[in-house]
Amino acid sequence: MVMADGRPAPQQDAVSFDLNAYLKERKQLVEAALDCALPVSEPLTIYESMRYSLLAGGKRLRPILCLATCELLGGTSELAMPTACGLEMVHTMSLIHDDLPSMDNDDYRRGKLTNHKIYGDDIAILAGDGLLAYAFEHIVEETRGVPPERILRVIARLGRAASAAGLVGGQVVDLACEGDPNVTVETLNFIHTHKTGALLESSVTCGATLAGASEADLACLTRYAQRVGLAFQIVDDILDITSTREELGKTAGKDLRADKATYPSLWGLEASRERARDLSEAAIEDLAAFGERALPLQGIARAIVTRRN
């Protein structure tokens, strides 16, 4: 089997760690927690709409990064779970809003019709708003056994990642650059460090904060998260070109049709693959000092460049 990075499927890690089993188990844990976090209530339409997108599957990468980082530093997955769910709520909000006709106008997401195609634009906007606001309430109400100062740091990090200094700012520049043939790699980096990078980074740093990370640990984990975030986006761009809609679960070939600047359009496919691999390897190196406890995060850095959707 050939993966997105053009290499054969990876070998099992030297140390016995089954990443696929780990990711599968974590995904199930996260999805059960998300289901409990947002029970149906009145008015039904809005809760159904929020749940439709929140429980539509996906890799659950952000919550898993949060849990794994908290555990790496000696915390438990229980104390990080409300924050992990909050991160996924914010991510889901951004997907619902980005898919709207006045934004990227997408009909499919995770293999299903997008939220506004089912519920209409008005409810889709409100579902996003509701998920964003609820993420903060949920984290505060459900986090147990963590000093309040740390929870406040998590709130500030998540708020910043979701704001104009984070994913909103990235989406604005992304929209402004559509059809512009002169987008530079600096602008593309700005878009992705904000649109995807900020929330991925805060997934790691929030997990670290909950566990009481030292400044040194935080700096090292931040570097890891930034490299993983950029690698993730480069691979996203590659997959948009090389995959079908069935494989992606969302519209494929969209960047090319929209005449959108991407890493492959600036660097070519092969150089993009190489850059993603380099970033992944550097991210794995960032965590060398943590020893075997870093295997999940290192495995994720590896899996991000070998993923097929």
| C-beta of 155 vs 239, nearer to a second copy | 155
Distance of closest approach, residue 277 Cβ to a second copy, in angstroms: 31
Distance of closest approach, residue 106 Cβ to a second copy, in angstroms: 13
Distance of closest approach, residue 99 Cβ to a second copy, in angstroms: 11
| C-beta of 172 vs 241, nearer to a second copy | 172
Whether omega for the bond prior to residue 10 falls within 30 degrees of 0, making it cis, is no
| C-beta of 169 vs 253, nearer to a second copy | 169
Per the DSSP assignment, residues forming a β-bridge with 113 are 108
Distance of closest approach, residue 133 Cβ to a second copy, in angstroms: 4
Distance of closest approach, residue 16 Cβ to a second copy, in angstroms: 41
Burial class (CB in 10 A: 0-12, 13-18, 19+), 134: buried
Residues 6+ apart with CB under 8 A from 34: 54, 55, 85, 88
Distance of closest approach, residue 261 Cβ to a second copy, in angstroms: 16
Cα–Cα distance for residue pair 288/171, rounded to 1 Å: 34
246-256 exposure pattern, b = at least 16 Cβ within 10 A, e = fewer: eebbbbbebbe
Q: At CA 25, angle to CA 22 and CA 29, rounded to 5?
A: 135
| C-beta of 168 vs 241, nearer to a second copy | 168
Binding residues for a second copy, per CB under 8 A?
41-43, 45-47, 50, 90, 93-94, 97, 100, 102-103, 120-123, 125-126, 128-130, 132-138, 140-141, 148-149, 151-153, 155-156, 158-166, 168-169, 171-173, 175-176
| C-beta of 176 vs 288, nearer to a second copy | 176
Distance of closest approach, residue 49 Cβ to a second copy, in angstroms: 9
Cα–Cα distance for residue pair 282/291, rounded to 1 Å: 15
Contact in structure between 26 and 67 (CB atoms under 8 Å): yes
* Type of residue numbered 212: G
Q: Which is nearest to 62 in space by CA: 86, 46, 35, 40? A: 86
Helical packing angle, 44-54 and 121-142, nearest 10°: 80
| C-beta of 2 vs 176, nearer to a second copy | 176
| C-beta of 116 vs 273, nearer to a second copy | 116
Contact in structure between 228 and 296 (CB atoms under 8 Å): no
